[in-house]
Amino acid sequence: MVDCDVKNWKGESAGKASLDLKVAKEENAAHILHRALVRQQANARQGTVSSKTRAEVRGGGRKPWRQKGTGRARAGSIRSPLWRGGGVIFGPKPRDYSKKMNRKERRLALRTALQGRAEDLVVVQDFASEFPRPKTKDFLEATARWGVEAGSKILVILAEKNENVYLSVRNIANVKLITASNLNIYDLLHADKIVSTEDAIKKIQEVYGDH
């Protein structure tokens, strides 16, 4: 179990929040996190890159010159891979990069990653009401009050998406906003600091707290 201090909008202490998730054993944790991360990155690949072989390049049906007597090297097609404009030898072709992983393992990896980042987790009270209109400056000032260093890569986790909060952070290059239902291994491991609302922590505990 991990106990976290909850901060309000002004950065003052406003209570405690607990996160009690079943995580992987220490000797297996790195392995399962690596598998989950590789799976997510592999599944994000489109795999649509393609190049043409000598059979697919247009033209080259006629032998460019006779076999013997010209003094030049023998050639059967102007679309040979040796020629400029010719086909590609062993070039990339469309393929499926996706990897499979059991649902229980994926959930275990998420729980392990989140609880493993407890030291970098900042829990705050819901601040959607502080944004009657989008205001990027207000959000940056709030992160400073919460103890997040300027320039840090921040993952913000909300219980539900709020349009004004989203519009306030979307232009900040080092801030990523997701909801508790969209947790993923890459974002959890990539961020320097994780800022989560108290309601988001409760939702995560409700969804992933099963043993």
Same domain, 38 and 108: yes
Same domain, 25 and 69: no
Q: How confident is the model at residue 210 (pLDDT cuts 50, 70, 90)?
A: low
What pLDDT, on the 0 to 100 scale, is given for residue 20?
82
Same domain, 129 and 32: yes
Mean pLDDT of the chain: 91
Same domain, 50 and 150: no
Among 59, 75, 96, the domain boundary falls at 96
Same domain, 152 and 111: yes
Same domain, 121 and 32: yes
Query: pTM for this one?
Result: 0.81
pLDDT in tens, 38-70: 999 999 999 999 999 999 999 999 999 999 999
Whether the Cβ atoms of residue 105 and residue 33 lie closer than 8 Å to each other = no
Q: How many distinct structural domains can be found in the chain?
A: 2
Greater model confidence, 206 or 1: 206
Percentage of the chain modeled with pLDDT above 90: 71
Same domain, 145 and 73: no
Same domain, 35 and 56: no
Which range of residues forms the domain containing residue 105?
Answer: 2-45+99-208
Q: How confident is the model at residue 166 (pLDDT cuts 50, 70, 90)?
A: very high
Same domain, 26 and 117: yes
What pLDDT, on the 0 to 100 scale, is given for residue 211?
52
When pLDDT is averaged across residues 99-118 and rounded to a whole number, the result is 92
Q: How confident is the model at residue 1 (pLDDT cuts 50, 70, 90)?
A: confident
CATH code of 108's domain = 3.40.1370.10
What pLDDT, on the 0 to 100 scale, is given for residue 188?
94
What is the distance in angstroms between the CA of the first residue and the CA of the last residue of the chain? 13
Same domain, 90 and 127: no
Same domain, 197 and 144: yes
Same domain, 122 and 142: yes
